[in-house]
Amino acid sequence: MCTTCGCSVGAEHASQDDTTGRLVRLERDLLEKNDRFAQQNRDRLQQHGVLALNLMSSPGAGKTSLLEQTLREFRSHWRMGVIEGDQQTRRDAERIEAAGGLAVQINTGKRCHLDAQAVGHAMLQLPLMDLDLLFIENVGNLVCPAAFDLGEAVRIVLVSVTEGDDKPLKYPDMFATADFMIITKTDLLPHVDFSVEQCVAHARTIHPELTWMTLSSTSGEGLWPWQIWLDQQLTALRNAP
Amino acid sequence: MHELSLVESLLEILASEAQAQGYRRVTGIALEVGHFSHADPQALQFCFDVAAQGTLAQGAVLEITHQAGAGQCRVCGSQVALANRYDPCSRCGAFGVAVSQGEALRIKSIEVI
C-alpha cells in the first residue's frame, strides 16, 4: 500500500518509468456503454409508441404516492407499467400492484441509481405493445441518477414542499438534466416555510426552459393538469416523425 | 457514489481494448473529467484503487485532468468561462448560458505494456 495516501498503488508507482511501455490513444467515453443501451431502450419504446418517464427525487418526495394515485385515477384512460428502482425490497412494486398497476422491481443492491442496461432487462418483463405509459421510478437520490440516460422520453424531478425551496441550487446537476419539475405535497404548504415561486426561480436560474407544475397526491390537487400534461407528451411522442 | 459504476465502465473499456491494441497490462490512464460531469475526481480515484484490484489495471496511475466549464450566452452570443451552471454571462449579465464545454468523462490515452 502507498505510504503517502494509503491508496493501493504501492510499489507499482515505479511502472510509470517502465521503458517498455507505450502510449495508446483511446478517446473513449465512460458513459458510452450506458448510452448505447439507452438508445436501444429508446428505439424499442418508440417502436411501440410507449411514453417512458424517468422519475427522480430525494427519498420520500412522493414518487410512489404519485404513481399510486395516477394508476388509481387514470387506469381506464391509459395502459401503464412501472419499473421500480430501490436498493432493497419489493415494497414499492407491491404498492403499485395494489393500486392496479403492472410493476417490475429492480433491486440495485449497493448501487445508488438505475442504469440503462438494468432498465432494458426490466422492459423485457413488460408487455410493451400493450402499454401507453412506462414510469421508471429511479432510486431516491438527487445526485447520482442525473448522470444516467435510461432511454426515457422525459426526465422528471420531484421536489416536495417539506424540503427546502433551495434544493435546485444545492443539486444543480439534477435540475439541469431534468425536462420537467413537479412540486409535490402542496396540501402541506400552509404548514411549512416553502415558497413555490422561490423554488421555481432557483430552478430556472439553472435551467431557464424548465417547465413545472404543483400537485398533491393526498388532496388530489393538480392531478387533472398532470393528466393533461401526460396526454400532451404522449401525443407529441406518437406524432414524432 | 455512482463513481464506482463509472470506474467499472472504465475497467471494462480497458479490458475490451486489450486484445485489439495488444497489451497485457495498463500502467497509466489519462482521464479527462469535466467541471459539469456529475463525477468527483477524488471519488473516482478512490473507487479506482479499490475496483482495479485483480484486473489488468491494478496499480496503474490514474491521472485525472480537469476540463474547465465554458458556455455560450443565449443573449449576446459570447463564449464565456463558467464556474457554475447557473452563472450569468460575464459579458452581458444575462442568465441562461448554454454549457458548451465541461461535460467530458473521457479516457484520453493509456500507457500499456
Average pLDDT over residues B71-94: 92
Please report residues of B whose CB lies closer than 8 A to that of A146.
Answer: 38
Residue A222: its pLDDT value, please? 97
Say what percent of chain A tops pLDDT 70.
Answer: 92
DSSP B37: S
Closest residue on chain B to A209 (Cα): B96
Residue A196: its pLDDT value, please? 98
Average pLDDT over residues A25-30: 94
Which member of B28, B38, B61 has the closest CB to residue A173? Answer: B38
CA–CA gap between residue A29 and residue B77 (Å, rounded): 28
Exposed/middle/buried for residue A162 (C-beta within 10 Å: 0-12, 13-18, 19+): middle
Q: What's the whole-number average pLDDT of chain A?
A: 91
Map grid coordinates 465541461 to a residue: B102
Check B95 against A169: CB less than 8 A apart. no
Judged against a pLDDT cut of 70, whether residue A71 lies above it is answered with: yes
Beta carbons of B41 and B33 less than 8 angstroms apart: yes
Closest residue on chain B to A11 (Cα): B59
Inter-axis angle of helices A32-47 and B3-21, nearest 10: 100
Residues of A with a Cβ under 8 Å from any B Cβ are: 7-13, 15-16, 18, 20-34, 110-113, 115, 143-144, 146-148, 169, 172-173, 176, 205-206, 208
Task: Return the H-helix or E-strand segment holding B101.
Answer: strand B98-101
Please report residues of B whose CB lies closer than 8 A to that of A205.
Answer: 86, 95
- B47 interface with A at CB cutoff 8 Å: no
Give residue A19's pLDDT band: very low, low, confident or very high (50, 70, 90): low
Average pLDDT over residues A103-117: 90
Residue B47: its pLDDT value, please? 94
Judged against a pLDDT cut of 50, whether residue B109 lies above it is answered with: yes
Inter-axis angle of helices B3-21 and B41-51, nearest 10: 60
Beta-strand relationship, B105-112 and A102-107:
unpaired
Average pLDDT over residues B74-86: 91
Average pLDDT over residues A92-110: 90
Which member of A20, A25, A112 has the closest CB to residue B113? Answer: A20
Which residues are CB-neighbours of A190 under 8 A, at least 6 positions away? none
Contact pairs from chain A to chain B, CB under 8 Å: 124
Residue A17: its pLDDT value, please? 47
* Mutation choice for B interface testing from A5, A30, A150 by most B CBs within 10 A: A30
CA–CA gap between residue A233 and residue A222 (Å, rounded): 17
Judged against a pLDDT cut of 70, whether residue A2 lies above it is answered with: no
Please report residues of A whose CB lies closer than 8 A to that of B111.
Answer: 16, 21-24
For residues B17-29, b (16+ Cβ closer than 10 Å) or e, as one string?
bbeeeebebbbbb
What sign has the CA pseudo-torsion A13, A16, A22, A25? positive
CA–CA gap between residue A123 and residue A44 (Å, rounded): 9
Average pLDDT over residues B7-30: 95
Please report, as a single letter, which amino acid is at residue B19: Q
Residue A4: its pLDDT value, please? 42
Judged against a pLDDT cut of 90, whether residue A68 lies above it is answered with: yes
Number of other residues whose CB lies within 10 A of the CB of residue A64: 23
DSSP letters along B60-94, please? Answer: -EEEEEEEPPEEE-TTT--EEE-SSTTPPPTTT--
Give residue A5's pLDDT band: very low, low, confident or very high (50, 70, 90): very low
Judged against a pLDDT cut of 90, whether residue B73 lies above it is answered with: yes
Check B39 against A147: CB less than 8 A apart. yes
- Tell me the β-bridge partners of B106: A29, B32
Average pLDDT over residues A144-172: 96
Residue A10: its pLDDT value, please? 44
CA–CA gap between residue A34 and residue B39 (Å, rounded): 15
* Mutation choice for A interface testing from B5, B55, B95, B103 by most A CBs within 10 A: B5
Residue A193: its pLDDT value, please? 97
Check B6 against A13: CB less than 8 A apart. no
Beta strands in chain A (DSSP E): 22-29, 51-56, 80-86, 102-107, 133-137, 154-160, 180-184, 211-214
Please report residues of B whose CB lies closer than 8 A to that of A29.
Answer: 105-106
Judged against a pLDDT cut of 80, whether residue A133 lies above it is answered with: yes
CA–CA gap between residue A204 and residue A178 (Å, rounded): 11
Judged against a pLDDT cut of 70, whether residue A233 lies above it is answered with: yes
Ranking A12-16, A38-42, A201-205, B64-68 by mean pLDDT, the lowest is A12-16
The complex's ipTM works out to: 0.87
* Mutation choice for A interface testing from B46, B58, B86 by most A CBs within 10 A: B86
For residues A201-228, b (16+ Cβ closer than 10 Å) or e, as one string?
ebbbbbbeebebebbbbeeeebbeebee
pLDDT per position as a tens digit, A177-187: 999 999 999 99
Residue A240: its pLDDT value, please? 86
Residue A8: its pLDDT value, please? 52
Half-sphere exposure of A149 (CA within 13 A, CB side): 15
3-state secondary structure A58-100: CCCCCHHHHHHHHHHHHCCCCCEEEEEEECCCCHHHHHHHHCC
Average pLDDT over residues A86-92: 90
